[in-house]
Amino acid sequence: MDMGDFILEMKNITKDFSGVKALDNVNLKVKKGEIHGLCGENGAGKSTLMKILSGVYPYGTFSGEIIFDGKELKLNNIKDAEDAGIGIIYQELSLVKELSVSENIFIGNEPNKNGIIDFDRMYYETKILLDKLNLNINPNVPVKNLGIGQQQLVEIAKALSKNVSLLILDEPTSSLTDADVEILFNILRQLKDNGVTCIYISHKLNEVMEITDRITVQRDGKTIGSEDTKNLTESEIIKMMVGRELTNLFPKEEHQIGKEILEVKNFSVYDSKSSSKKIVDNVSFTLKEGEILGIAGLIGAGRTELVSSIFGSYPGRHEGEIYLEGKKINIRNPDEALDYGIAMVPEDRKGQGLINILSVRDNMTLSNIESYKNNFGSVDVNKEIVDVKKYIEMLKIKVSHFDLAVKNLSGGNQQKVVLAKNLLRNPKILILDEPTRGIDVGAKYEIYKLIYELVKSGISIIMVSSELPEIIGLSDRIVVMHEGKKKGEFVNKDVTQEMIMQCAIGGK
């Protein structure tokens, strides 16, 4: 192949974190103007490689060479990468919550005259970007008022605002619904027509298949290989990633559904910021013992608000009734919910799921720490460690030691820690809000199997997910929401994605 085709070559990149090799002699070549997919298990080193390329880990903190546009790149900081024309959307949301949408989009590149910001221009350009993404929000609203999905779109807008020749997207769609993904893809195709190169990282292989031209697969910090997308199938990618075949992604298993355990009646939730606005409007549903109930809907449909209000963690006011095993209950905070046997994996793992500076162990046992109390009132650390090790094994969490701070884990592995925390609590009802965000196919499969084991043992599950295949592949029953209202309920037999989509966008 002609060398001139390549806009980027990363050669023999090696990077370790105090003894742990995250990248081991990695090579990546990207052609000018292509959309290049990067796949690999959780912890394979994808994000680390991209952080090297965007100057987060500056020249000298890794070994190897980066050739970009024919010249060797020695990046000292992020600014250098931006100056060279490289832009990135990080896997972990990196927005300043107190600042407005438009300020976040232009942070670091504020339109200004002599250091004085031209707010009107900023507003105007933000509006254009948001329109492109079909996101109808006020550019002056602080980011903290947005849902996770919307925040991810803002992050995308931020990347688009920079005029880059190489755009890196690290898990840009983990909280997006299919409709939004389609919008993003159209934009990427437009960019491609304008000669912009993209590197696209995702665990949603169908997306990767749809949008990319070539794919490189990484495993355990090493490059496995690159191939044109058209020559690959999903299962071939999986095989390269995981090292083995994985034919059925959804291990449907028979399980007993028992009597009704939870009933939610006429439930409404009001916005925590403006108390007159209803986000969830008069929703009712039931949940049976050993049942998996899926909740589908578009971004902003109010699914998160619904489930987090039930769990007692949403700050806004709510109305309606909840019956647990026939008894009316009133949950005011997560503490009480957990006492009733209801646990929840929140959608925002960084903000609500994890305590970044604490270790994997501390995080995992935070909810059930009481159960390790011994006679002296102290924590039986060894008993704790046994459990922690068990879950690390079970969920295949890639971590060198359980006392490592969770902030050092790869995105997918962090998500697994949040899952483990809630499993350790042994709930009767487990609420999962986007449970497999950023988790690789192999691990997803394991998690699904685990979910089946849970329901077989009589635990009930409510699962909010933006991945329709996941909803359809797992749920026994599906509730669909649209603009805060329940628009439909399907027993999962012969349900198609189209039927759910139709319902989610408000049609019948």
Ligand X SMILES: Nc1ncnc2c1ncn2[C@@H]1O[C@H](COP(=O)(O)OP(=O)(O)OP(=O)(O)O)[C@@H](O)[C@H]1O
**Interaction between residue 172 and Mg ion (CB under 5 A):** no
Q: Which of residues 105-164 bind Mg ion (CB under 5 A)?
A: none
Which of 11, 14, 67, 137 contacts another protein by CB under 8 A?
137
**Interaction between residue 278 and ligand X (CB under 6 A):** no
Element (H, E) at 345: strand 342-345
Q: Which of residues 302-341 bind another protein (CB under 8 A)?
A: 311, 313, 333-335, 337-339
Phi, psi of 179 (to 5 degrees): -60, -45
Which of 26, 169, 343, 409 contacts ligand X by CB under 6 A?
409
**Interaction between residue 484 and another protein (CB under 8 A):** no
SS3 assignment, position 411: helix
Residue type, 50: M
Q: Which of residues 381-420 bind another protein (CB under 8 A)?
A: 381-383, 385-386, 400-401, 403-404
| Adjacent-strand bridge partners of 36 | 199, 214
Q: Using CB atoms within 10 A of its CB, is residue 35 exposed (0-12), middle (13-18) or buried (19+)?
A: buried
Residue 163 CB, nearest approach to ligand X (Å): 26
**Interaction between residue 60 and another protein (CB under 8 A):** no
Which of 197, 309, 413, 460 contacts ligand X by CB under 6 A?
413
Residue 48 CB, nearest approach to another protein (Å): 14
Q: Which of residues 300-319 bind ligand X (CB under 6 A)?
A: 300-304
Give the count of residues interacting with another protein (CB under 8 A): 77
**Interaction between residue 242 and ligand X (CB under 6 A):** no
Q: Any idea what DSSP says for residue 4?
A: G
Pick one of another protein, ligand X, Mg ion, none as the site partner of residue 103 (Cβ within 5 to 8 A by kind): another protein
Exposure letters 417-446 (e unless 16+ CB within 10 A, then b): bbbbbbbbbebbbbbbbbbbbbbbbbbbbb
Taking each helix axis as running N to C, give the angle between helix 411-424 and helix 381-394, from 0 to 180 degrees, rounded to the nearest 10. 130
Phi, psi of 407 (to 5 degrees): -65, -20
**Interaction between residue 207 and ligand X (CB under 6 A):** no
Pick one of another protein, Mg ion, ligand X, none as the site partner of residue 302 (Cβ within 5 to 8 A by kind): ligand X
Residue 117 CB, nearest approach to another protein (Å): 6
**Interaction between residue 304 and Mg ion (CB under 5 A):** yes
**Interaction between residue 398 and ligand X (CB under 6 A):** yes
Q: Which two tokens stand for residue 360?
A: 């994997």
**Interaction between residue 436 and ligand X (CB under 6 A):** no
Exposure letters 85-120 (e unless 16+ CB within 10 A, then b): bbbbbbbebebeeeebbbbbbbeeebeeeeeeeebe
51 close to 174: Cβ distance less than 8 angstroms: no
314 close to 305: Cβ distance less than 8 angstroms: yes
Binding footprint of ligand X on the chain (CB under 6 A): 17, 20, 22, 40, 42-48, 91, 136-137, 146-150, 175, 271, 279, 297, 299-304, 347, 398, 408-413, 438, 440, 466
What are the residues binding Mg ion (CB under 5 A)? 47, 91, 304, 347, 410-411
